[in-house]
């Protein structure tokens, strides 16, 4: 941590970074963390929809490794970041025979590689403070889902990295956990599952709680993992899916 960062007035408040925080689940997480008292920095390719998130936001293509590393290193220098939510992710639905190698690279770079780059950049500040919370947005697809070969591979990778990081970072007071949402009513969900489609009706009918999840449901789970009082919970995955995994 640089001397300038230590003297910066922005460091007087705990800072949380949310990748992909401009819309949908990421926005709900960012707004919830603001309510919890954090200064939130959204890092996304688009401008945040919520006005309260716009002032500190950084517009970055997180699939670009060099730019991502540069921006995240700058954030780590300017702010005492204690919370990192690796939320950004995209889906490329396709059955096994139709899965494309170009989509494999695209999803791995954005969904997985960005998490590694962001965490490496912000880790020195957390270690220096002897505390931190890292939360990965995985998905219930880690348990298997049709037409999600590549997407499930990326989310499974995040879950595996989280368990490894939890072991490596425990001695520094840093916890690493996953939330695994699904199905959640986001624009991406409805794009892949049109509301009037048989596929959408089948998904909703199979939810034990008989409703779609909301982005705020996931945000509440993230808030729990970020809480100072959750320091004895690490390496875990919390499924936020209305009971789908129970059956």
**Contacts of residue 246, Cβ cutoff 8 Å, sequence gap at least 6:** 208
Strand residue runs (E) in the chain: 15-19, 39-44, 58-59, 81-86, 132-137, 174-181, 237-240
Please choose, from the candidates 198, 197, 199, 212, the residue with its C-alpha nearest in 3D space to the C-alpha of residue 244.
212
Q: Which residues are part of the catalytic machinery?
A: 151
Nearest CA-CA partner of 138 in 169, 163, 171:
163
Query: CA Rg, the chain, in Å?
Result: 18
Angle between helices 114-129 and 149-169 (to 10 degrees): 20
CA 91 – CA 156 distance, rounded (Å): 14
Are 136 and 177 spatial neighbours (Cβ–Cβ below 8 Å)? yes
Q: What share of the chain is helix, strand, coil (3-state, %, to 5)?
A: 50, 15, 30
Q: Please, what is the Cα angle at 188 between 226 and 108, to 5 degrees?
A: 70
**Prior bond to 235 cis, omega within 30?**
no
């Amino acid at each position: 941590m640089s001397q300038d960062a230590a003297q910066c007035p922005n460091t007087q408040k705990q800072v949380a970074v949310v990748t992909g925080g401009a819309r949908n689940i990421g926005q709900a997480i960012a707004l919830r963390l603001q309510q919890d008292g954090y200064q939130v920095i959204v890092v996304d390719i688009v401008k945040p929809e919520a006005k309260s998130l716009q002032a500190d936001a950084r517009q970055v293509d997180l699939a670009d490794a060099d730019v991502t590393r540069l921006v995240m290193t700058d954030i780590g220098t300017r702010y005492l970041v204690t919370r990192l939510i690796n939320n950004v992710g995209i889906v490329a639905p396709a059955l096994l025979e139709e899965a494309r190698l170009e989509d494999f690279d695209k999803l791995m770079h954005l969904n997985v590689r960005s998490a590694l780059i962001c965490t490496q950049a912000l880790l020195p500040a957390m270690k220096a403070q002897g505390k931190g919370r890292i939360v990965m947005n995985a998905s219930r697809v880690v348990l298997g889902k049709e037409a999600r070969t590549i997407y499930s591979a990326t989310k499974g990778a995040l879950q595996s990295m989280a368990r490894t990081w939890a072991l490596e970072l425990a001695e520094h007071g840093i916890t690493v956990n996953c939330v695994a949402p699904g199905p959640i009513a986001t624009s991406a969900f409805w794009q892949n599952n049109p509301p009037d489609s048989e596929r959408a009706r089948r998904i909703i009918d199979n939810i034990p709680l008989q409703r779609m999840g909301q982005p705020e449901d996931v945000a509440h789970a993230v808030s729990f993992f970020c809480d100072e009082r959750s320091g004895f919970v690490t390496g875990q995955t919390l499924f936020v899916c209305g009971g789908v995994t129970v059956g």
